[in-house]
Amino acid sequence: MSEGTPATRVGISCGDLNGIGLEVILKTFEDGRMLQEVTPVLYANARVVSQHRKLLDLEEVQFHRVSDAVEALPRKLNVVNAWEEDLTVELGRPSGSLAAYAIRSLETATHDLAAGKVDVLVTAPIDKHSMETAGFAFPGHTEYLAHVAGVEEVLMELIGEGLCVGMVTGHIPLKDVAQAISTEKILVKTRSLHQSLQRDLAVPSPRIALLGLNPHAGDSGTLGTEDRERILPAVRQLNTEGILAMGPYAADGFFGNGTFEHFDGIMAMYHDQGLIPFKTIAFGHGVNFTAGLPIVRTSPDHGTGLDIAGKGVADEGSFRAAVWAACDIRANRERYKLLTANPLRPQRTERSKTAG
Task: Tell me if 321 is assigned to some domain.
Answer: no
Neighbours of 308 (CB within 10 A): 16
Domain boundary among 292, 312, 341: 292
Closest CA to 41 of 122, 102, 98: 122
Q: Do 16 and 49 share a domain, yes or no?
A: yes
Q: Do 85 and 204 share a domain, yes or no?
A: no
Beta-bridge partners for 11: 41, 121
Task: Tell me if 337 is assigned to some domain.
Answer: no
Higher pLDDT among residues 5 and 13, named by residue: 13
pLDDT digits (tens, 9 = 90+) for 220-233: 888 889 999 999 99
Phi and psi, residue 121, nearest 5°:
-125, 130
pLDDT digits (tens, 9 = 90+) for 182-235: 999 999 999 999 999 999 999 999 999 999 999 998 888 888 899 999 999 999
Q: How far is CA 274 from CA 2, 122, 280, 293, 298, in A?
A: 36, 22, 10, 21, 17
Q: Do 54 and 184 share a domain, yes or no?
A: no
Domain boundary among 132, 151, 170: 151
Q: Do 199 and 81 share a domain, yes or no?
A: no
Q: Do 114 and 185 share a domain, yes or no?
A: no
Closest CA to 12 of 84, 97, 110: 110
Q: Do 175 and 279 share a domain, yes or no?
A: yes
Domain range for residue 208?
A: 153-292
Q: Do 75 and 64 share a domain, yes or no?
A: yes
Q: Do 206 and 125 share a domain, yes or no?
A: no
pTM for this model (two decimals): 0.90
Integer Rg of the chain from CA:
22
Contact 118, 106 (CB under 8 A): no
Task: Tell me if 342 is assigned to some domain.
Answer: no
Order across the sheet with 207-211: list the strands: 64-66, 78-81, 38-44, 8-13, 120-123, 297-300, 287-291, 155-160, 163-167, 265-268, 207-211, 244-249
Task: Tell me if 250 is assigned to some domain.
Answer: yes
Does residue 81 sit in helix, strand or coil?
strand
The count of domains in the chain is: 2
Residues 6 or more apart in contact with residue 29 via CB below 8 angstroms: 35, 40, 61, 63, 77
Q: Do 183 and 281 share a domain, yes or no?
A: yes
Q: Which CATH number belongs to the domain containing residue 171 in this structure? A: 3.40.718.10
Domain boundary among 270, 292, 314: 292
Q: Do 96 and 234 share a domain, yes or no?
A: no
Contact 42, 77 (CB under 8 A): yes
Task: Tell me if 325 is assigned to some domain.
Answer: no
E-assigned strands of the chain?
8-13, 38-44, 64-66, 78-81, 120-123, 155-160, 163-167, 207-211, 244-249, 265-268, 287-291, 297-300
Contact 191, 243 (CB under 8 A): yes
Q: Do 244 and 266 share a domain, yes or no?
A: yes
Q: Do 163 and 223 share a domain, yes or no?
A: yes
Omega within 30 of 0 (cis) for the link into 248: yes
pLDDT digits (tens, 9 = 90+) for 238-287: 999 999 999 999 999 999 899 999 999 999 999 999 999 999 999 888 99
How big is the CA angle at 36 (ends 322 and 286), to the nearest 5 degrees?
Answer: 15
